[in-house]
């Protein structure tokens, strides 16, 4: 039954016209479907494929153009729902043209957008010729497997049929002699990785029992004679012997290289995503976080410039203090940005040396003593003497400064920040514990992620960029360490990180 779709008329812009011209020049059929699986647009290729006009196809669904009894429409609906939610799929579908002629086609579903809304983009091509070829291929005698001896990555076999055989080049692919396969039809099953075998065996059995099912293509890791697993694509074709029993003609292909390339593509995609996130973060900080302190610098310096003669010495001192605070904020931000960019571009050198941890913490506490005094925060160096780490000194100082500064920012008046350490498995575990406001559990995961900026005001309304902790994580990992957080709301937060212990 055709579903009614509301159509609105509006003059097409030049861009829309060019878009549709290109859209219609594609030889393959293209369909745009909404969440309900209804066609909301099609190209010229779809009109040619089915014999319906664009206007007739819009509002139809795959069920309306399905060859009767040839498709699993529930499965088709499932594929459409998965595609709408982001999971692409590819499958075969038997269509029925306007003149009632039926034909096979290959359909690829992908998630997409259409006029600003989520949609399903379906492309299809008529595979009638391919189907004819597959039928002809099924009639080829098994002895043609000799041809495959010239293709070491492809093996042809017949299993459980009148002439069980496997091409000789199975030795090159898997390392086993052919007779092991022909004398025991289950031998090939025993080579499938156990985690895949438990799913494949019932799948193949169901396919064999289904008289309407066509060819079956499966992928699985297969164990070679040397114990190594390689990825196999197995194209199975069901045949019927003279006594009416089904058997399999299969073609195995080594697709290990293809799988490796796909994994590399996934890694590259993830790397590209991270690079884009880093770029977005960088520009966000420059555009937003630098603006606030510069506004302060410009505002207070303007007051001094224009009203200096009218201000008292106390007011001048107050404005100078504001300017100093803004300048310090800008300096710290730019310094963090420079360090972070150097790490991202590989321009920061890792030069580990023997470092006295007590002395390093003492210097960091001394640096922040005035900040702590202002908020009456007690800084405690609980590092024991003669604790030495193997780390880059400049990086360690940045780590300490960022974590202690962060602790002061989120600790209220009269609180404490304690720095301690302990040895664990040839590593030194350092803890910076504060009695501050704490961090909500849902926000802890955001602290070290470049793609989810997290920053909040301190107990004295101190501002931050959210970059300090991200930089700290990069520096800790550069020093072959790890960093993590434990926090309880209204009780405090502990940052832990590890560094290699200095060994003589």
* Residue 342, H or E segment: helix 313-344
- Residue 142 in this model has a pLDDT that exceeds 50: no
Q: What is the pLDDT of residue 464?
A: 53
Q: What is the pLDDT of residue 325?
A: 72
- Residue 86 in this model has a pLDDT that exceeds 80: yes
Q: What is the pLDDT of residue 98?
A: 95
Of residues 401 and 449, the one with the higher pLDDT is 401
- Its pTM stands at 0.42
- Residue 38 in this model has a pLDDT that exceeds 60: yes
Classify 180 as helix, strand or coil.
Answer: helix
> At 454, is the pLDDT very low, low, confident or very high (cuts 50, 70, 90)?
low
Percent of the chain beyond pLDDT 70? 81
- Residue 96 in this model has a pLDDT that exceeds 90: yes
- Residue 306 in this model has a pLDDT that exceeds 60: yes
Q: Of 69-83, 202-216, 318-332, 446-460, which has the strongest mean pLDDT?
A: 69-83
- Residue 441 in this model has a pLDDT that exceeds 90: no
Arithmetic mean of pLDDT over the chain: 82
- Residue 100 in this model has a pLDDT that exceeds 60: yes
DSSP string, 184-210: -TTHHHHTB-HHHHHHHHHHHHHHHH-
**Do 104 and 128 touch, CB atoms closer than 8 A?**
yes
Q: What is the pLDDT of residue 46?
A: 93
Mean pLDDT score, 417-439: 92
Q: What is the pLDDT of residue 149?
A: 56
Mean pLDDT score, 399-418: 89
Classify 433 as helix, strand or coil.
Answer: strand
> At 141, is the pLDDT very low, low, confident or very high (cuts 50, 70, 90)?
very low
Beta strands in 264-406 (DSSP E): 352-356, 378-381, 388-392
Q: Of 11-15, 137-141, 408-412, 419-423, which has the strongest mean pLDDT?
A: 419-423
Q: What is the pLDDT of residue 58?
A: 95
Q: What is the pLDDT of residue 181?
A: 83
Mean pLDDT score, 298-312: 82
Of residues 481 and 297, the one with the higher pLDDT is 481
Structure-token pair, residue 198: 């438990």
Report the range of poorest mean pLDDT among 275-279, 309-313, 325-329, 367-371: 275-279
- Is the dihedral angle over the CA atoms 153, 156, 159, 164 positive or is it negative? negative
Q: Tens digit of pLDDT for each residue in 170-180? A: 888 888 888 88
Mean pLDDT score, 333-352: 74
Q: Rounded to whole angstroms, how far apart are CA atoms 219 and 172?
A: 19
> At 150, is the pLDDT very low, low, confident or very high (cuts 50, 70, 90)?
low
Q: Is 423 exposed, middle or buried (0-12, 13-18, 19+ CB in 10 A)?
A: exposed
φ, ψ of residue 370 to 5 degrees: the values are -65, -40
> At 18, is the pLDDT very low, low, confident or very high (cuts 50, 70, 90)?
low
**Do 3 and 38 touch, CB atoms closer than 8 A?**
yes
Q: What is the pLDDT of residue 19?
A: 60
Q: Tens digit of pLDDT for each residue in 208-245? A: 888 676 788 899 999 999 999 999 998 888 887 777 77
Q: What is the pLDDT of residue 170?
A: 82
* Residue 56, H or E segment: helix 54-57
Q: What is the pLDDT of residue 7?
A: 47
Question: Mind listing the domains of the chain with CATH numbers?
Answer: 14-128 (3.30.450.20), 140-254 (3.30.450.20), 290-340 (no CATH), 349-504 (3.30.565.10)
Report the range of poorest mean pLDDT among 217-226, 250-259, 318-327, 405-414: 318-327
**Do 500 and 479 touch, CB atoms closer than 8 A?**
yes
- Residue 329 in this model has a pLDDT that exceeds 90: no
Of residues 347 and 395, the one with the higher pLDDT is 395
> At 356, is the pLDDT very low, low, confident or very high (cuts 50, 70, 90)?
very high
Mean pLDDT score, 183-202: 86
């Amino acid at each position: 039954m055709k579903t009614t779709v509301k159509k609105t008329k509006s003059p097409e812009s030049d861009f829309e016209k060019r878009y549709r011209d290109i859209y219609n020049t594609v030889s393959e059929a293209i369909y745009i479907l909404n969440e309900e699986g209804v066609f909301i647009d099609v190209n010229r290729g779809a009109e040619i494929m089915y014999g319906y006009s664009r206007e007739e196809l819009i509002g139809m669904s795959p069920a309306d153009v399905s060859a009767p009894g040839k498709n699993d429409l529930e499965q088709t609906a499932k594929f459409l729902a998965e595609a709408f939610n982001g999971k692409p799929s590819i499958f075969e579908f038997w269509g029925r043209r306007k003149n009632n002629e039926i034909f096979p086609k290959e359909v690829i579903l992908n998630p997409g957008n259409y006029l600003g809304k989520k949609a399903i983009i379906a492309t299809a091509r008529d595979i009638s010729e391919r189907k004819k070829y597959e039928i002809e291929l099924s009639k080829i005698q098994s002895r043609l497997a000799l041809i495959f001896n010239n293709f070491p990555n492809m093996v042809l076999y017949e299993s459980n049929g009148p002439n069980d055989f496997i091409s000789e080049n199975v030795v090159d692919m898997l390392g086993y002699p052919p007779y092991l396969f022909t004398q025991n039809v289950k031998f090939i099953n025993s080579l499938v990785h156990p985690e895949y075998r438990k799913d494949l065996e019932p799948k193949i059995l169901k396919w064999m029992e289904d008289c309407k099912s066509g060819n079956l293509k499966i992928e699985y890791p297969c164990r070679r004679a040397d114990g190594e697993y390689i990825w196999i694509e197995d194209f199975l074709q069901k045949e019927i012997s003279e006594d009416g029993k089904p058997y399999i003609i299969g073609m195995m292909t080594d697709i290990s290289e293809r799988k490796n390339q796909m994994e590399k593509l996934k890694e590259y995609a993830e790397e590209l995503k991270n690079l884009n996130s880093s770029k977005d973060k960088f520009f966000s900080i420059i555009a937003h976080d630098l603006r606030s302190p510069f506004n302060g610098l410009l505002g207070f310096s303007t007051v001094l410039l224009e009203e200096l003669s009218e201000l008292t010495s106390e007011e001048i001192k107050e404005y100078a203090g504001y300017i100093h605070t803004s300048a310090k904020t800008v300096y710290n931000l730019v310094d963090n940005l420079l360090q972070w960019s150097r790490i991202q571009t590989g321009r920061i050198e890792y030069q580990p040396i023997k470092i006295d941890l007590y002395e390093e913490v003492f210097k960091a506490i001394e640096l922040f003593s005035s900040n702590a005094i202002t908020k009456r925060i007690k800084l405690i160096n609980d590092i024991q003497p003669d604790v030495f780490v193997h780390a880059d000194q400049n990086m360690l100082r940045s780590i300490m400064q960022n974590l202690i500064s962060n602790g002061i920012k989120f600790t209220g008046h009269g609180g404490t920040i304690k720095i301690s350490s302990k040895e664990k498995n040839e590593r030194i575990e350092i803890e910076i514990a504060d009695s501050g406001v704490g961090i909500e559990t849902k926000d802890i995961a955001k602290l070290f992620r470049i793609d989810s900026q997290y920053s909040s005001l301190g107990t004295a309304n101190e501002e931050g960029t959210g970059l300090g902790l991200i930089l700290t994580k990069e520096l800790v990992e550069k020093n072959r360490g790890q960093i993590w957080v434990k926090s309880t709301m209204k009780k405090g937060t502990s940052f832990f990180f590890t560094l290699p212990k200095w060994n003589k």
